[in-house]
Structure 1
Amino acid sequence: MARGGFSESKRAQDLGQILGVNILPSQVIQGHTPFKQLVNRFENELVVAVGKGEPAAVMSEYGYKNVLSIDEYTSYFDAIDPLAPYKRWTTKPDIDQNSTSNEMAKRKIAVQTQRVQAAFVVSDSVDWSRDIQVLCDILRTGGLPGEETGKQPHLFFANDDLEYQATFPAERLGMGAFRIALEAIYNRIHPIPLAFTSYGKPNPFVYGNAETMLRNLMPSLLSNLDVENSTNSGIRCFKTLYMIGDNPKIDIRGAQQAGDPWFSILTRTGVFKGKDNHSEFLADLVVDTVEDAVDFILRKECGS
């Protein structure tokens, strides 16, 4: 799974170039991939997409017809971010450069008078102070910043990882940390606690979704994969599915909760750096690298 922020088609292309193989978009699952399943609910509603990369483009590719990135949404409200003048970076909103000033003015009025029905945190927030401020404005006013308190719009997170390993030696704060910060602040300024839905590991839903995707891909996969027919439903079931991850609290815990047929492999390539297995979330196997994990799988499945 990638960390998100770009469409599955772009991820498939990038991974294909790196690995030297053809990868289909349908073979890529990201934290925000389940947002596809909410299209029928919010297809024509005004929704805001938060995160690095191209969050609005991701949602548009899923079928959302009225989605704005939080960069563009913020640009329609003067002074909504009081710290903007002190920020040394600039963020270019995802606005059609061919639009005339008159069209832009109409768009601004439309956004300022239309209630946001849902906010989707697609990937890691780039500007926590602005995004928490604007999300609090949206969520506590019923979707229209500057108005009185109203019913909270829906809020969805692509994942709930507290930390993740990047190039810096120590773990970095992830979307779960952003969610905690937003929730803590919102609950201090609003009488009703923040309501939200988090997708992503360790939610067993993610593992079930991956299994379903693999089952749907079976016609295009090699016929000698380790599968067998279910006796009562005729649905092809996997004997073993492997989860390779470096975060015991997220990856391994999720595989444990998902249960059969998941086999968890913990690597020492990221969050986990211990000598032995994790003390709380025990993996089925612990190895040094992803390559070691793949070698184990190939030996086990090929019988060598």
Structure 2
Amino acid sequence: MESLRRGPRFSSIRLHCRALAQPRRCFLPNNLRVRTLQTHSRSSTASRQQPHPPLVFAFDIDGVLLRGETVLPAAKRALARLEGANPTGLKIPYILITNGGGISEEDRCRKLSKQLGFDIKPTQYVQSHTVLKSVVHKYAEKPIMVFGGKFDEVRKVAEGYGFEKVYTTLDVMAWNPNVWPFHELTAEERASTKPVDFSRTPISAAFVFHDPRNWALDVQILCDLVQSGGIIGAPYLPVSEQNKVDLVFCNPDLLWRAAFDRPRLGQGAFREAFQAVYHALTGKRYPYVQYGKPSEVTYKFAEKVLVDRLEELSGRRPAVSPEVYMVGDNPESDIAGANAAKWSSVLVRTGVFDPAQGPPAHTPTHIAEDVEEAVEWAIRREMERAG
């Protein structure tokens, strides 16, 4: 996999923007010519190659482009710049990388395209559980349990990735309501379940795809799974390599920014709640794998998506690495992960980060008022570096 790290700068496109601080008044000097696009043939079909730009972007969504279901005003203007409304007239590649999830990438991109007014493709979208596509081969034919989301939506996502035997906590309730006698399945919940005998179905792994809706039910069933070697209702056993149920969380965010005035608890809070209960029961914390920002594996996966997006736009792999700019609102996930990946990081004030509470826990390359200002600053920075 080609890595997008700090490296040689592109010098084939040199820009002079006298008014980048006023985004709609940037212009090219009269004596500047953008190099002629070269043609090439792929599968006997001639196509035009776009020069690779000197920078690419990765955007968080909640708190950067959206707040709840509302599009932030600066978001459409920022994306318009990257879609070609800039001095080169070229598209500047970008991807969206979020710790959200719960539905398929295709469904989410259709909704985002409608909200943002631009065509967002699944090839430029990474949500918290997209990285699980890379581990399907380990569990494809084994029974797994997925947590989070509404009804059986997460099951459908997992099956779309290639997992073949996928079960939910609602399936467990339908099998034996006494597992958690404080919740009665609604008609819609029951309709989403699959009949299965969990006393004869060893669960090999538990994947927390998305934020659970019923923490009490899910904590109980997760504790049952990991203490019994994957057989719900079986005697509890000391955890060993032979009977350990693999546990994967896809989103470490303790907080996230929605439509409410204050940040809301996220999947990271559910993880801590489970671990606190498990520790109270056993005196230990249960081993787990963490995906999502700021995990290294998620940023490496995003790097591959960015390289693929560059090739998709230009028709060829980049010979040298453009600068990657991560624009996010959460210092603990967006900025920490970008800094560790050696990307440039821009922290915006439209989400989780509250400057009134002091400096961010992880220092970004730059702090911007919103995503539009972040994009303008990054373009100006790269053009000044190019000469």
User: Scaled by the length of structure 1, what TM-score is found?
Assistant: 0.84
Which of the residues 101, 108, 114 maps onto 1:4?
Answer: 101
Match of 1:136 among 223, 232, 244: 223
Q: Does the 8 A contact of 2:140 with 2:162 survive in 1?
A: yes
CA shift, 1:32, in A, is: 0.5
How many residue pairs are counted as aligned between the two chains?
A: 281
- How many Å apart are 1:91 and its aligned residue? 5.8
Q: Match of 2:203, SS?
A: coil
Preserved CA contact (<8 Å) 1:277 1:286: no
Name 1:48's counterpart in structure 2.
Answer: 145
Judged with a 3 Å threshold, the aligned counterparts in structure 2 of structure 1 residues 284 and 276 are, in CA distance, closer, same or farther, namely farther
Which of 368, 373, 377 is 1:292 aligned to?
373
Rate the CA distance shift 1:276–1:92 in 2: closer, same or farther, 3 A.
closer
CA distance in 2, matches of 1:238, 1:125: 39
Distance in structure 2 (CA, Å) of the matches to 1:244 and 1:94: 41
| Cα distance in 2, alignment partners of residues 132 and 90 from structure 1 | 23
Determine which of 34, 52, 73 is the counterpart of 2:172.
Answer: 73
Hey, what's the Cα distance between the residues in 2 that align with 1:297 and 1:22?
23
Q: Distance in 2 between matches of 1:127 and 1:276?
A: 31
Deviation of the 1:277 alpha carbon: 8.1
- Equivalences for residues 37-116 of structure 1 within 5 A: 37-53=134-150, 54-85=153-184, 92-93=189-190, 95=192, 107-109=195-197, 111-116=198-203
2:337 aligned with 1:250: no
In 2: Cα distance, 1:170 partner to 1:276 partner: 13
What are the equivalent positions in structure 2 for 1:125-274 lying under 5 Å apart?
A: 125-150=212-237, 151-190=243-282, 193-222=285-314, 229=319, 237-259=320-342, 262-274=343-355
Task: Using CA pairs under 8 Å that are at least 6 residues apart, name the structure with larger relative contact order, 1 or 2.
Answer: 2
CA contact (8 A) 2:331 2:360 kept: no
Give the Å deviation of 1:176: 0.9
1:9-28 alignment to 2 at 5 Å?
A: 9-28=106-125
Specify the code of the residue in structure 1 equivalent to 2:221. V
Q: Would you say the 8 A contact 1:16–1:23 is kept in 2?
A: yes
AA partner of residue 217 (structure 1): R
Structure 2 letter corresponding to 1:81: W
**Secondary structure of 1:272's match?**
coil
CA contact (8 A) 1:69 1:93 kept: no
Deviations 1:210-234 (A, max 9, x none): 111111232211479xx952xxxxx
TM-fit CA distance, 1:47: 0.7
- For residues 65-123 of structure 1, the C-alpha deviation after alignment (integer angstroms, 9 at most, x for no partner) is 110222223321221112115x9x77614647xxxxxxx7xx333x3311111111001
Identity of aligned residues (%): 31
Q: Is the 1:263–1:284 contact (alpha carbons within 8 Å) kept by the matching residues of 2?
A: yes
Range 144-153 or range 244-253, more displaced:
144-153
Query: 1:167: how far off?
Result: 1.4
Deviation at 1:280, TM superposition (A): 3.6
Q: Distance in 1 between matches of 2:282 and 2:145?
A: 21
Q: 1:300 to 1:177 in 2, by over 3 A?
A: same
Q: Could you tell me how far apart the structure 1 residues matched to 2:310 and 2:119 are? A: 16
> How much has 1:135 moved relative to structure 2?
0.8
8 Å Cα contact 1:71-1:91 kept in structure 2: no
| Compared CA separation, residues 93 and 39, structure 1 to 2 (3 A) | farther
TM norm structure 2: 0.67
Shift of 1:51: 0.7
Question: In the aligned structure 1, how far is the partner of 2:188 from the partner of 2:214?
Answer: 10
Which runs of 5 or more structure 1 residues have no equivalent in the other structure? 97-103, 230-236
* Structure 1 position 192, deviation (Å): 5.3
Indicate if the aligned counterparts of 2:310 and 2:318 stay in contact, CA closer than 8 A.
Answer: no
Higher-Rg structure is 2
2:355 is equivalent to residue 278 of structure 1 = no
- Cα pair distance change 1:238/1:203, threshold 3 Å: same
Which residue number in structure 2 is paired with residue 232 of structure 1?
Answer: none
**Could you tell me whether the CA contact under 8 Å between 1:118 and 1:155 is conserved in 2?**
yes
